[in-house]
Amino acid sequence: MISVLSVLLSVMGILALAALGLVWFCKHMAKKALHPVSRRKALDIWPEQYHLSYENVTFTTKDKIELRGWFIPAAEPADKTIIFMHGWGMNRADVFKNTHFLQGLGYNLFYFDFRALGESGGRVSSIGYLERNDVAAAVSFLKRTRPQCCRKIGLYGISMGGMVAICEAARNPGIACVVAEAAYYSFRRVVSRWAWVHRRVPYFPLMPIILHYIRRQLGGNPERYSPKYNIPKISPRPVLLIHGRYDNLVPAAQAKQLYRCAGEPKELWLVPGAKHGKCAEVGGFEYKQRLTDFYKQYL
C-alpha cells in the first residue's frame, strides 16, 4: 500500500513539474513575441543615398512612446501624402527602398518606425495591437504640422504594417485608400503560424496558453482587431491587397479570405513565386506599376 502511494506521489510530482515547465515555456514564448530585442536592427538605407530631400521627424503616441521617421516632400508642392508602415522585425528603411519612387509621381512620403523597432522608443512590439496607436499618432502629427500636405492621405503597409493600415482606414474615414501587402487574416492565426514556422510549436496544447499570456501582457485581446473584422469597414474607399503566392508565414489563402471580406472597390494581386514580404523584389516593374496605377486612380 505504501509503495503504491509512493508511486502515485512520484507521478503527481512529475506531472506538477511538467505543468510548471509548460507554463514557463508558454510565458517565455509570449514574452519573446512581444519583446523583440533581437529584432531591432539599425537603419541601413537613407533618403540622401537616392538624392531625396527629407526631414527627420519625432512625434509621440497617446501612450507616451516616442516615434521617429522621415518626411519626404514631393518633387513639386503637393497636398497628397502616403504613410508607409513596415512589418514586425523591420524598420522604415526596409519599406523605403521599394517605394521611394512614388515621390517623383507627386506624393509626399511619410515613413516611421513602429514602437520597439528601428529608431523608435518602446520595448513592446505587439504585432499590430499597440501599433494602431502609432499610425494614429502619425496621422495626427501630419495634420497638425503639415496641414497643407494632407488634403488626401493614403496608406501603405506590409505584414504587421498591413494589418495596422487596414485598422486605421476602418477607424478613420479621412483615409482615402489602402495598400496592404502580406497582411494577416487574424492575430491568432499569424502568431500560431509564426510559432510553428520558427519554433515548431504545435497549436495544441501550447498556443491557447501562449495566446492567453499575450492577452494578459497587452491588457486586451488583439484578435478583436484582426483585419478580417476591419477590412469590411473600409468600403467604399479602395483597398489593394498584394500577397506572395508562396508566402510561408501568412498563406495566400488568407489574402483570398481578406479579399472576400472587403467591400468594393478592391483588388487582389497574388505575386507568383513570392514569399513573405518579397513581393517587391519578385514583382519588379509590375509591382511599381501596380502601386503607381492604384495611387493615381484613388489618391
Per-residue buried b or exposed e for 26-44, using 16+ beta carbons within 10 Å of the residue's own CB: bbebbebbbebeeebeeee
- What is the pLDDT averaged over residues 262-289? 97
pLDDT digits (tens, 9 = 90+) for 179-194: 999 999 998 888 887 7
Q: What percent of the chain has pLDDT over 70?
A: 88
Distance CA 143, CA 155 (A): 14
Per-residue confidence (pLDDT) for residue 36, from 0 to 100 = 62
Distance CA 84, CA 102 (A): 11
Distance CA 68, CA 217 (A): 25
Going by CATH, does the domain composed of 47-185+226-298 fall within 3.40.50.1820?
yes
- What is the pLDDT averaged over residues 215-240? 93
Count Cβ atoms below 10 Å from residue 112 Cβ, excluding itself: 28
Per-residue confidence (pLDDT) for residue 272, from 0 to 100 = 96
pLDDT digits (tens, 9 = 90+) for 116-165: 999 999 989 888 999 999 999 999 999 999 999 999 999 999 999 999 99
Considering the entire predicted model, what is its pTM? 0.90
Distance CA 84, CA 137 (A): 13
Contact (CB, 8 A) for 137 and 59? yes
Distance CA 137, CA 115 (A): 12
- What is the pLDDT averaged over residues 91-117? 97
Distance CA 223, CA 102 (A): 33
> What residues form DSSP beta bridges with 56?
70
pLDDT digits (tens, 9 = 90+) for 44-93: 999 999 999 999 999 999 999 999 999 999 999 999 999 999 998 899 99
Show the CA angle centred on residue 188, arms to residues 181 and 120, nearest 5°. 60
Per-residue confidence (pLDDT) for residue 194, from 0 to 100 = 72
Residue limits of CATH 3.40.50.1820 in the chain: 47-185+226-298
- Whether the bond between 227 and the residue before it is cis, its omega within 30 degrees of 0, is no
Give the CA dihedral 12, 14, 19, 24, nearest 10 degrees.
Answer: 150
Q: Give the confidence band of 23 by pLDDT, cuts at 50, 70, 90.
A: low
**Residue 251 main-chain phi, psi, to 5 deg:** -55, 150
For residue 83, CA distances in Å to 96, 135, 185, 194 come to 11, 8, 22, 26
Distance CA 6, CA 2 (A): 6
Distance CA 100, CA 105 (A): 10
Distance CA 153, CA 299 (A): 7
Q: Which helix (H) or strand (E) holds 93?
A: helix 92-99
Enter the C-alpha cell of residue 50.
537616392
Per-residue confidence (pLDDT) for residue 95, from 0 to 100 = 97
Q: Residue 122 — left, alpha, or beta (φ > 0 → left; ψ -120 to 50 → alpha)?
A: left
Contact (CB, 8 A) for 112 and 133? no
Chain position carrying cell 513581393: 279
Average pLDDT value over all residues in the chain: 89
Q: Between 71 and 210, whose confidence is greater?
A: 71
Contact (CB, 8 A) for 249 and 276? yes
Q: Which helix (H) or strand (E) holds 133?
A: helix 131-145
